[in-house]
Amino acid sequence: MERAIEGLLLGMRWLLLPLYVALLAALLAIYVVVGRELWHAATDIMTITDTGLVNILLSVLDLVLLANLLVMVAVSSYESYVSRITARGGKPEWLGKLDSGNVKVKVAVSVAMIAAIHLLRAFLEDEEMGRLLVMGGVSLVFTLATLAIAMVDRTARHVVPPAEDA
């Protein structure tokens, strides 16, 4: 009975696969939005201001960070919780270095960077001071949270060495 329950619990990890596929499918939406932003820049290239161009490029940068985040979370989560990845040409070097602690730090850094990009875009668009202060506060909270997560992860790595794969 115990083995059947354990087998069922381990088998349930495959229910995570559609969620990871959904994350990767969201990349298609990011492609569309990046294409729209670049099309906007290309069609208005003769009349666009420098601030307008910077805003478009910041938007693209924001979306690229988000795309990297989606891939990193989906791939590393799949390998951590569902099944080891064995690629035909060998596993990418970075994949073996992504454990749940590393992923949490990288997600936190990406979120803080995205918040900072949004703050910069709002500043360039001359948002009202109250909104900028709120956005700055949010960005500061994300940055401090990122530092706290990184420090906790670093401390945990020094206290308990990671288990070695056999």
Q: Is residue 126 assigned to a domain?
A: yes
Q: Is residue 164 assigned to a domain?
A: no
Residue 126: helix, strand or coil by DSSP?
coil
pLDDT digits (tens, 9 = 90+) for 86-101: 777 766 676 666 777 7
Q: What percent of the chain has pLDDT over 90?
A: 44
Q: CA-CA distance, 17 to 118, in Å (whole number)?
A: 31
Q: Is residue 92 assigned to a domain?
A: yes
Q: How far apart are the first and last CA of the chain?
A: 29
pLDDT digits (tens, 9 = 90+) for 38-56: 998 999 999 999 888 999 9
Domain count, the chain: 1
Q: Report which of 70, 83, 65 is spatially closest to residue 14, judged by C-alpha positions.
A: 83
For the chain, the maximum distance between any two Cα atoms, rounded to a whole number of angstroms, is 72
Q: Is residue 7 assigned to a domain?
A: yes
pLDDT digits (tens, 9 = 90+) for 121-139: 999 888 899 999 999 999 9
Q: CA-CA distance, 85 to 100, in Å (whole number)?
A: 16
Long-range CB pairs of 79-86, under 8 A, 24+ apart, other chains included: 81/13, 81/16, 82/13, 82/14, 82/16, 82/17, 82/20
CB atoms within 10 A of CB 63: 19
Q: Report which of 117, 101, 18 is spatially closest to residue 66, judged by C-alpha positions.
A: 117
Residue with tokens 């064995």: 86
C-alpha gyration radius of the chain: 20
Q: Is residue 23 assigned to a domain?
A: yes
Q: Is residue 165 assigned to a domain?
A: no
Q: Is residue 80 assigned to a domain?
A: yes
Domain that holds residue 54: 2-159
Q: Is residue 56 assigned to a domain?
A: yes
